[in-house]
Amino acid sequence: MSRPRVWVIGLDGVPWSLLQPWIDAGHLPTLARLQAGGAWGSLSSPMQFLTAVAWSSFITGLNPGKHGIFDFARRIPGSYEQELTNAAHRAGRSLWRILSDAGRRVGVVNVPMTFPPEPVNGFLISGLDTPGLDSAYTYPPELKAEVRDVHFIAVSTIGKSHAAYLAETLDGIDKRFELLWRTIDREPLDFYMWVEMETDAIQHCSWHLLDDPTQPGHDAILQVYRRIDHHLARLVAALPPDVTLIVMSDHGAGPIAKTVYLDRWLAQQGWLHYRRATGPSDRLRHLARVGLRQTLYLAQRFLPVGVKGFLKRFRGAHAAVETFIDKAEVDWSRTVAYATGNLGNINLNIKGRDPQGVIEPDEVEDVITAISQALYALRDPDTGEPMVAQVLRREEVYTGDLVDRAPDLLIRWTDDKYLAVKDYEGQPDGPIFGYKQKFGRHGAAYALDQTGTHIREGIAMFHGYGVRPGARLQGAQLFDLTPTILYLLDVPIPQAMDGRVLTEILDPTVITWVPRYETEAREPHRTGDFEWTAADEEALRARLQGLGYVA
């Protein structure tokens, strides 16, 4: 037999809580076959279990404290401003960089956090963080001409009914698999990876329909899973004997019980302060912000799609308006802490570290204790149960040279069922809890509710060459897949990797070689310097907001 190969199918956000019942009910015969004839189990995603963080951890085999991606956005050093992240901001060598350096041929398709595409020994088509289809999203560049008719970035939620969004999603899955068929046999490959994102997106807007069979679209998520299972049947039927097939998700999914406006909570606790409107100019600025927000709301809500598309051409001006609206009127000279991200992160405002820091370094521990105690005291207003399971300092969660880029405090919500939401209205007296979260920045301008969120536990199935049928994963983490893939391909594993080889699911009579490790440390690899244009960043931010990935 020739040298073993590995194929990875990524199904973003798939949880066992949906997958297993539908396998047992006979809805997903292909995935049932993979489970029955292979090894399987749960994968624990790193904190915070967001798409950008999770896929970066898989790509590198490193925890976020080493690869430096903690969200879709990062703070610009020396300021309170945020910018979107991409592969150029990630430290650590990618899996396909390591394989390429070892002489293995690779094909990588639609994996998030791969833009800008890095040169590899093979080809790469970047994923969700691609700004637009007019950007350079392939390596080699000429590959773009081969795939432009079947490649797309994401199905937009903007201005669509749930039925229309579902129909476009199902068509999108067909296109995704057409891209798979076109690329998987494009050339001889040692490693091939392809990711389906629509699983995660449909869960964000359809979770509330699962328990009500009378609702139109109650089976929307199942329809998406069944369409994928149908296409996977062809792949599994043709699986070569020398291929180890891995089907995995980067995290799981579950329902949103409530949204939490962390900025409002911090303001009402006295830790965050807004500027006082002390004069006519302040009041005029506030009225201008409200007016612009309402104008954008009305435009997005009521204008015809064609007009909306025309307006999007003026991206530079629109980005400037968004920036003006979104700059919260925070009084940094009195603010102790502020919220970031979607799952629940809090940054402190420390003297000597932050531009207008107010916390003395010797007071940090007392502030952390006070905020943590207040968070643990939060109760669900309907059930009375504690809402916060853990408040963790970044040093408790991450290790590595880039821990200082992480938020100071990370919140783990009870059962992962609460969604932290930024308050862009600057209304400290508003409600702390919400029951519906709309996609996008301007509320009801987007028709679809966001009712599903991420949970930490994802899935993994192994089938084919070298897999021990019936084996179960034990305490596996997402970044364990990376050294396991290197081991299967007999490539030395970097010593810096945090993951382990998942030997419990491998057949030692077939995989007989010993794991090899690099003898010398290698410098972290980056894809190169990259700066967003204003238009690119606005386009990407709008997409991520429309899919529920960023606030």
Q: Which amino acid is at 384?
A: G
- Whole-prediction pTM value? 0.89
Q: How much of the chain is in helix, strand and coil states, percent to nearest 5?
A: 35, 20, 45
pLDDT digits (tens, 9 = 90+) for 441-462: 444 444 688 899 999 999 999 9
pLDDT recorded at residue 442: 41
Q: What average pLDDT is seen over the chain? A: 88
pLDDT recorded at residue 295: 55
Cβ distance 473 to 41 under 8 Å? yes
pLDDT recorded at residue 522: 62
Cβ distance 435 to 208 under 8 Å? no
Average pLDDT over every residue of 264-292:
72
pLDDT digits (tens, 9 = 90+) for 62-96: 999 999 999 999 888 889 988 889 999 999 999 99
CA angle 13, 14, 20 (to 5 degrees): 165
Query: Which candidate, 500, 525, 529, 505, places its Cα nearest to that of 515?
Result: 500
pLDDT recorded at residue 159: 80
* pLDDT beyond 70 at 285: no
Q: Which of 215-219, 325-329, 507-511 has the lowest mean pLDDT?
A: 325-329
Q: Which residue has the higher pLDDT, 165 or 544?
A: 165
pLDDT recorded at residue 334: 96
Beta carbons within 10 angstroms of residue 310's beta carbon: 11
pLDDT recorded at residue 315: 35
Write down how long the chain is. 551
* pLDDT beyond 80 at 547: no
pLDDT recorded at residue 538: 79
Beta carbons within 10 angstroms of residue 366's beta carbon: 11
What radius of gyration, in Å, describes the C-alpha atoms of the chain?
23
pLDDT recorded at residue 444: 41
Average pLDDT over every residue of 356-360:
97
* pLDDT beyond 80 at 325: no
pLDDT recorded at residue 310: 38
The token duo for 140 is 């080699």
Query: Which candidate, 420, 441, 15, places its Cα nearest to that of 207?
Result: 15
Percent of the chain with pLDDT over 90: 73
Average pLDDT over every residue of 298-307:
47
Residues 194, 231: Cα–Cα separation, whole Å: 13
Cβ distance 6 to 489 under 8 Å? yes
* pLDDT beyond 80 at 463: yes
Q: At what angle are helices 16-24 and 29-37 packed, to 10 degrees? A: 100
Q: Which residue has the higher pLDDT, 386 or 549?
A: 386
Residue 9 forms beta bridges with which residues? 194, 247
pLDDT recorded at residue 329: 82
pLDDT digits (tens, 9 = 90+) for 139-198: 999 999 999 999 999 998 878 899 999 999 999 999 999 999 999 999 999 999 999 999
Residues 547, 13: Cα–Cα separation, whole Å: 13
Beta carbons within 10 angstroms of residue 307's beta carbon: 11
Q: Which residues, including other chains, have CB under 8 Å from residue 297's CB and lie 6 or more apart?
A: 442, 443, 444, 445
SS3 44: strand
Residue 14 φ then ψ, to 5°: -75, 130
pLDDT recorded at residue 534: 76
SS3 83: strand
| Domains of the chain, earliest start first | 5-254+454-544 (3.40.720.10), 258-274+328-446 (3.30.1360)
DSSP-derived secondary structure letter, 442? S
pLDDT digits (tens, 9 = 90+) for 6-53: 999 999 999 999 999 999 999 999 999 999 999 999 999 999 899 999
DSSP-derived secondary structure letter, 454? E
pLDDT digits (tens, 9 = 90+) for 385-396: 999 999 999 999
